[in-house]
Amino acid sequence: MRPKPAPLYKIVLWSMFCLSFLPFAGFGRAFETPLPVNVEPRSVEPRFTPYHIMVAPLQAITICSAAAAVLNGDIKNPVPDSYLWQINNNGNWVNAPSANTQKDYITSSLTNTSASSIVYSLRRKISTAGVVDYDSYYDVTVRPIAAVNNNTIVAPAVTQFCSTGNPAAITGSVPGGGDGTFSYQWQSSTDNATFNDISGAVSKNYDPPVLNNDTYYRRMVSSGACTTPALSNVVLIKVSTPPPPPSPAASTITICQGTPATLTVASPQAGFTYNWYDSSAKTTVLATGTSYTTPVLNAGKSYYVEASNSTCSSPLTTIQVTVSPLPAVPQFTQSTISVCSGSTTTITIQNAQSGVVYNWYGGATEANILHTGTSYTISNVTAATTYYVQAVNAAGCGSSARGTVSIAIIPLPVVTVSSSGTSVCPGTSATLTASASGGAVISWYDAPTGGNLLAQGNTYVTANLTSAKHYYLEATNSTGCNSGGRVTVQVQMTKPLDAPVVTVGEVTSSSVAFEWSAISGATSYLVSTNNGLTYTVPSSGSNGLTHKVGGLGLNESVTITVKALGASSCTLSGASAAVTAATIDNNNVIYVANNFTPNGDGNNDIIYAHGKNIKTLSFYVYDQWGQLVFTSTDVNKGWDGYYKGSLMPVGVYVYYLKATMNNGAQLNKKGTITLLR
């Protein structure tokens, strides 16, 4: 059935309502820049039916940019057959996007990037039993997000504390942006990751409580419903645990006077700085590091060290430096001690102190210790030497310098003994003579050590002696240095000289020469040719070693004996053994035949070397290839032509001989021999 036209009075009433009421409800607001759905604000429309006019109620929703609006549709009874949500787009109602056929409607995310709010108008179209109606009118206001700026906080002047700390207030800036009104919330954290609101801390500034650990602070500022809370920068209030007091390598150190001390922290920890002071007031930092070397100290002093982690410092640790006085430099009664060469001397320290060790050195800076003690005994001193002695006390401190003592060597007297008079004839005395260098006095003894002092002086005459005897002498100079052991002088009984050994020398047809070797101790010689009845001077002179007898006939012999004479009468030797020699023919000719016939007929079967004055002979025969086939040293033995039991073949052979003649001549000869049959 078509509805009936509305009466005129109802139309008039509706017009009056729209003109007076709707403007105050905001239905006529201009729609500003639309969001993606591109709609405009709507005007409220009257609902016309053939019989009445109804005004749909308007619901307003305000959301922030980027949020979605939930529109709850009106409840109808009976339940409509269908729903369709619509949005006003430039005065025209169009279907709303997305899921728009449900009882309720959820918009998409509505974004407003402008500076002012945007209003979206929506309604629901329903159909019941074919009757179309409109309800659930909404104005959705989308406010822009108003950011808060200038939210910074400033830390108090002191932000680092040791153990505990009560920091001053953290001040915050006056924020900007938002809607001009601001709310504050202070937050704290112990790890700068998770922050929690601080109860009651909602003012612009914040005064932290007493702290005992590291704490991070920030301020959160909000302004209106559509602002994102702004977080400030973070301020750290640091509460550090002080480092433990340093443990020194030694709490008390003893050093030697005039030396520095090195102070050290035992087991230093990484990340700590160690500061050294000479006053517990920590007026001046002397050094920074795990060790500190003091200046040269002559008196005890206390030093202090602390550990610092750049925020906190540990309590001071005290190290006491004790200074040990140096022992006195060793002194000696004499700076130079004169010592006999080769003797033993003992050097003693004059100012030796109890409890002090004395080290002896061979040089002013020598490190090798020669001896330790208050005295030093040196044996067999043969060279000038300087010794250096340093005193060292129980604390290991040495004297400021080494004491010095020198040894000067006094040369020992040198004894020179004359060999004259050390051999005498039995029953006579010996006169012994010696001299000593440097005018030293010579003393004569009858024993190598101890014994009896026989005399003093350079000469000593013994008693008459019948056998050999030893005497001993030493020299002593003016400083008491002895010649270094007694010198032995042996007096021998003079013995007859050895008899000469005579040999035959050159022999001629009219003379014979004899010769002999020199006899030790002999001063002259005598010869006899009449069997010792008389002795005369040799033909070569009294001290000659040859005698020649001439004027002899051929093959005439002569016999000679020789005696040796010494410096004294008791040295005359016995006569030598008699030696006889005869004159000889001086013919030195040796003859070897140039052929022989070893055929056993008794004629010319053997080849000989012939010579009447041959004394010694070496005779050799070689074949034509150089093979030695015969040799003989007997002048009476010749070659019979055989070699190894076989007669050699006919041919030419070579001979070679060496001979010494009776007159001493040496002959060499070679030639050829022809073996015939």
Give the pair of three-digit tokens for residue 158: 């002191």
User: Strand (E) positions, 173-260?
Assistant: 176-177, 183-189, 196-197, 215-222, 230-231, 235-240, 252-256
For the residues 591-618, what does the mean pLDDT come to? Answer: 92
Stated as kind and residue range, the H or E segment containing 337 is strand 336-340
CB 365 within 8 A of CB 390: no
For the residues 374-403, what does the mean pLDDT come to? Answer: 92
User: Which residue type, as a one-letter code, is found at position 559?
Assistant: T
Mind listing the pLDDT tens digit for each residue in 542-558? 999 999 999 988 888 99
CB 55 within 8 A of CB 46: yes
Per CATH, the number for 502-582 is: 2.60.40.10
Q: Give the start-to-end residue ranges of the domains of the chain.
A: 8-143, 148-240, 252-324, 336-410, 415-493, 502-582, 591-675
Q: What is the CA radius of gyration of the chain?
A: 75
Mind listing the pLDDT tens digit for each residue in 356-374? 999 999 999 999 999 999 9
Mind listing the pLDDT tens digit for each residue in 119-136? 999 999 999 999 999 999
- Label residue 560 by pLDDT band (50, 70, 90): very high
Per CATH, the number for 336-410 is: 2.60.40.10
Residues 6+ apart with CB under 8 A from 358: 330, 349, 352, 372, 373, 374, 389, 390, 391, 392
pLDDT at residue 358, rounded to an integer: 94
Q: Which residue has the higher pLDDT, 20 or 198?
A: 198
Residues 6+ apart with CB under 8 A from 501: 516, 517, 576, 577
Residues 16, 18, 23, 25: what is their CA dihedral angle, to the nearest 10 degrees?
120
DSSP per residue over 453-501, as a string?
EEEESSEEEPPPBSS-EEEEEEEE-TT--B-SSPEEEEEEEP-PPPPP-
Greatest mean pLDDT among 426-430, 561-565, 664-668 lies in 561-565
For residue 108, report the phi and psi dihedrals to the nearest 5 degrees.
-75, 175
Give the pair of three-digit tokens for residue 261: 């001390």
Half-sphere exposure of 517 (CA within 13 A, CB side): 4
Q: What letters, b where the CB count within 10 A reaches 16 and e where it falls short, cover 432-469?
A: bbbbbeeebebbbbeeeeeeeebbeebebebeebeeee
* Burial of residue 357 (number of CB atoms within 10 Å: 0-12, 13-18, 19+): middle
pLDDT at residue 639, rounded to an integer: 95
DSSP state of 571: G
For residue 235, report the phi and psi dihedrals to the nearest 5 degrees.
-115, 130
Residues 44, 48, 51, 56: what is their CA dihedral angle, to the nearest 10 degrees?
-30
Mind listing the pLDDT tens digit for each residue in 491-547? 988 888 899 999 988 888 888 899 999 998 899 999 999 999 999 999 999 999 999
For the residues 213-221, what does the mean pLDDT come to? Answer: 95
- Label residue 561 by pLDDT band (50, 70, 90): very high
In whole angstroms, what is the distance from residue 194 CA to residue 197 CA?
Answer: 10
CB 638 within 8 A of CB 604: no
- SS3 of residue 437 by DSSP: helix
Decide yes or no: CATH 2.60.40.3010 for domain 8-143. yes
DSSP state of 181: -
- CATH class in words for 591-675: mainly beta
C-alpha pair distances (Å), 431 with each of 415, 447, 455: 17, 18, 12
Per CATH, the number for 415-493 is: 2.60.40.10
Give the chain's largest Cα–Cα span: 220
CB atoms within 10 A of CB 566: 21
Give the pair of three-digit tokens for residue 53: 């006019």
Strands 579-582 and 557-565: antiparallel
In whole angstroms, what is the distance from residue 393 CA to residue 412 CA?
Answer: 40
Per the document, the length of the chain is: 677
* Burial of residue 145 (number of CB atoms within 10 Å: 0-12, 13-18, 19+): middle
In whole angstroms, what is the distance from residue 115 CA to residue 146 CA?
Answer: 8
In whole angstroms, what is the distance from residue 400 CA to residue 344 CA?
Answer: 30
Q: Does the fold of domain 252-324 match that of domain 8-143?
A: yes
For residue 328, report the phi and psi dihedrals to the nearest 5 degrees.
-70, 150
- For the domain 148-240, what is the CATH superfamily, name and number? Immunoglobulins (2.60.40.10)
For residue 294, report the phi and psi dihedrals to the nearest 5 degrees.
-75, 165
CB 359 within 8 A of CB 339: no
pLDDT at residue 241, rounded to an integer: 86
- SS3 of residue 12 by DSSP: helix
**Residue reference for tokens 């049959």:** 677
pLDDT at residue 14, rounded to an integer: 33
DSSP per residue over 245-268, as a string?
PPPBS-SEEEEETTB--EEEBSSP
In whole angstroms, what is the distance from residue 606 CA to residue 619 CA?
Answer: 13
Nearest Cα neighbor of 432 from 484, 487, 478 is 487
In whole angstroms, what is the distance from residue 551 CA to residue 535 CA?
Answer: 19
CB atoms within 10 A of CB 140: 25
Nearest Cα neighbor of 403 from 477, 351, 342, 339 is 351
Residues 6+ apart with CB under 8 A from 92: none
- Label residue 227 by pLDDT band (50, 70, 90): confident
Q: Which residue has the higher pLDDT, 584 or 495?
A: 495
Q: Distance between terminal CA atoms of the chain?
A: 197
Nearest Cα neighbor of 310 from 281, 282, 288 is 288
Q: What share of the chain is helix, strand, coil (3-state, %, to 5)?
A: 5, 45, 50
* Of 273-277, 452-456, 567-571, minimum mean pLDDT range: 567-571
Kindly report the average pLDDT of the chain as a whole number: 87
- CATH class in words for 252-324: mainly beta
In whole angstroms, what is the distance from residue 137 CA to residue 622 CA?
Answer: 166
Mind listing the pLDDT tens digit for each residue in 10-67? 333 333 333 333 333 333 332 333 334 444 433 334 333 333 334 568 999 999 988 9
For the chain, what percent of residues have pLDDT higher than 70?
Answer: 91
In whole angstroms, what is the distance from residue 144 CA to residue 111 CA?
Answer: 8
Q: How far from the centroid of its chain's Cα atoms is residue 240's Cα?
A: 44
pLDDT at residue 420, rounded to an integer: 65
Stated as kind and residue range, the H or E segment containing 18 is helix 8-20
DSSP state of 529: S
For the residues 73-101, what does the mean pLDDT come to? Answer: 93
